[in-house]
Structure 1
Amino acid sequence: MLLPIILTLIVLVNGSFILQIVKDFTKNRSELANEPGNPILMAISQFFIFFLSTFGISDFAIGASLYPKAKWVGDKKLPGTLNTACVVPVAAMALAYISSIEVGIATLLIPIVAQVVGAYISPRFVVKLPKNTIKKFVIAGLIVAGGLILAGKLGVYPSGGNKTSLQGFSLIMLGVLSMIYGALNNIGIGSYALTMATVYAFGLNPAVAFPIMMGACTFSVPVGSIQFVKLNSYSRKITFFSATFGVIGVLVAAFLVKGLNTNVLQWVVLGVILYSVISMIHDLHKEKAANLKTV
């Protein structure tokens, strides 16, 4: 009985976000058209980013690596863009996974509510952060995502168990951690890898990670993203292409491709993350040196 309600709420919550960005796109048509980025490259990139995200490869990590290097968005608007860009594709993922994978209702609902709370509180603080502070948070998020991928490749990542639900202290801890992950989403640290690691550590079936992390994100990320839209702290063009071509990537991955071997792709993403972290740290040092010269 609760499942149809959850699916209906996904449509309603994400539908309100879509109405918000359509209103914002219409109001700011000239800004949308003048934002940097080749439309063809953006369409292709969003298709593949969310195609891979459907298999658990962090779209935040790839986006945080790609968007600044392509000069599609500045550091100040990067956290908001990472959030707004994933709203509609993640809603499509959630609708596909929540209805097809068994998970205890409380184990699904508590992380969802907790992430919504975390996501609602943090955007108003994020937009006030200095550019370099945001960059440092993004670097931290990339290191966390890369570390978890590497841990999995080296066999030291928790492998999970057979449980489909949690009770007692474990369930409370999942809720507390999910609230933190919801807040971290808004500073550019994606919650997918963190949620997956938590689910595995608590002995849940690895498949359970997908409805939990996508369900939590599909409710929490729109809440935070609407705040970023109101604060004009996101890239409209990237969000537009993710809401269209990103969704196509999700649908291809969810319904047309079965059992994709992502082993090689994970190594490629790990390499991209490493390059991005080194590059961002180098940029921070250059900016610091330049500031010292002007003093």
Structure 2
Amino acid sequence: MVKILLAAIILINLLFIIVFVRDLLKHRDEVMSEPSSLLWTSLSQVVIYFLSTFGISDFAISTALYPKAKWISIKKLPGTLNTQCVIPVFVMSLAYISTINVGIKTLLVCIVCQVIGAYIGPYFVVKLPEHIIRYFVIAGLLVATALILGGKFGWIPSNGTATQLYGWKLWTTGLLMFIYGALNNIGIGSYALTMATVYAMGLNPVAAFPIMMGGATFSVSVGSMQFIKLNDYSRKITLTSIFGIIGVLVAVYLVKSLNTSIIQWVVVVVLLYSAVSLWMGERKSRNSEAA
């Protein structure tokens, strides 16, 4: 079953790559005119997905960085957050699912439920006005911050030993994964939420990684193909995400035991600063409209 799952992961991601490359060729004259810097975006992908491999949300870090650097509009941010992470998360999922033991039934329920949520989500996101998306992004930053702090101060339990879920725990987790898949599409990353759920359900904390990456690799690839069809993402940033593979491989194979405690504190500060900045920007925009 694990081999079948890995084969399915490869197939769905190859399908995304085909859809993306076709769209890239169709709009090749527009790619380089996008405002993001090719050099700095590529370097940022290495760092973002190095941290993401340890469960530090790439959605949250990208949300903190991209609007500040003026690389993308808030309107296209949710789509870009999804499309840019497909290839790096593809590599992460292969690495974690093939090396960490999780009950196959639990893994499949989590993945299928998250994919369904991700498929439905984009059709609602593209209809949202920019200021509503901004509020969701702010909420996502605050949720990610709260969950990181919850883990740091022991508010979220993380001492489970189970590798499989049964009964109400399994179906509750499936329902939550459906919600997380939908939330991905409005810029609220699922990593921190999935980790909190895994801990709360009594699973071994390390089980969070194949569940996170397994669910994400299907859900973001499915959701991202919808964003590509709806022309609601940055092609340049998504193209440079291939450099994120470097960060993933360094994290997975060279520094598996890295202590991310200090990094997590830095991320908390960045997330809070970004949330406040977006809130102040929204207030300024509303005041200007009122004036």
TM-score, normalised on structure 2? 0.99
1:114-193 aligned at under 5 Å gives the runs 114-193=113-192
Report the Cα distance in structure 2 between the residues aligned to 1:49 and 1:286, rounded to whole angstroms. 29
Structure 2 residue matching 1:34: 3-state secondary structure? coil
Question: For residue 280 of structure 2, what is the amino acid of its counterpart?
Answer: H
AA matched with 1:182: G
Using the alignment, how far apart are the partners of 1:160 and 1:20 within structure 2?
A: 42
Q: Please show how residues 1-295 of structure 1 align to structure 2 within 5 Å.
A: 2-242=1-241, 244-293=242-291
Q: 2: distance between equivalents of 1:160 and 1:105?
A: 21
Could you list the per-position Cα deviations for residues 113-150 of structure 1 after superposition, in whole angstroms to 9, with x for gaps in the alignment?
Answer: 00010001110110010000000000000000000111
Amino acid at match of 2:238: T
% of aligned pairs identical?
A: 61
| CA offset digits 1:16-73 (Å, max 9, x no partner) | 0011111111111111111112211111100000000000100000001101111111
Report how far residue 258 of structure 1 moved: 2.4
The 8 Å contact of residues 160 and 202 in structure 1, kept in 2 or not, is answered as no
Q: Report the Cα distance in structure 2 between the residues aligned to 1:178 and 1:156, rounded to whole angstroms.
A: 21
Instruction: State the alpha-carbon separation in 2 of the partners of residues 126 and 182 from structure 1.
Output: 13
Shift of residue 159, structure 1, vs aligned partner: 1.3
1:160, distance to aligned residue in structure 2 (A): 3.5
Q: Deviations over 1:130-177 (max 9, x none)?
A: 000000000000000000111112221221310000000100001000
Distance in structure 2 (CA, Å) of the matches to 1:278 and 1:220: 29
Deviation readout 1:83-106 (Å, 9 max, x if unpaired)? 001011001000000010010011
Letter aligned with residue 280 of structure 1: L
The Cα of 1:218 is off from its aligned counterpart by 0.5
* Alpha-carbon distance in 2 for matches of 1:128, 1:164: 40
- Which aligned segments of 4 or more residues in structure 1 are displaced greater than 6 angstroms? none
Q: Distance in 2 between matches of 1:177 and 1:170?
A: 11
5+ unaligned residues in a row in structure 1: which ranges?
none
Distance 2:279 2:180 in 1: 24
Structure 2 letter corresponding to 1:278? V
The whole-number CA distance in structure 1 between the counterparts of 2:37 and 2:186 is: 26
Amino acid at match of 1:250: V
Q: Deviations over 1:172-226 (max 9, x none)?
A: 0010000000000000000000000000000100000000010001111111100
**Alpha-carbon distance in structure 2 between the residues aligned to 1:116 and 1:65:** 26
CA distance in 2, matches of 1:158, 1:116: 27
What's the offset of the Cα at 1:257?
1.6
How many equivalent pairs are there? 291
- State the alpha-carbon separation in 2 of the partners of residues 28 and 173 from structure 1: 42
Q: In 2, are the aligned partners of 1:107 and 1:166 still within 8 Å (CA)?
A: yes
The separation in 1 between residues aligned to 2:123 and 2:40, in whole angstroms, is 31
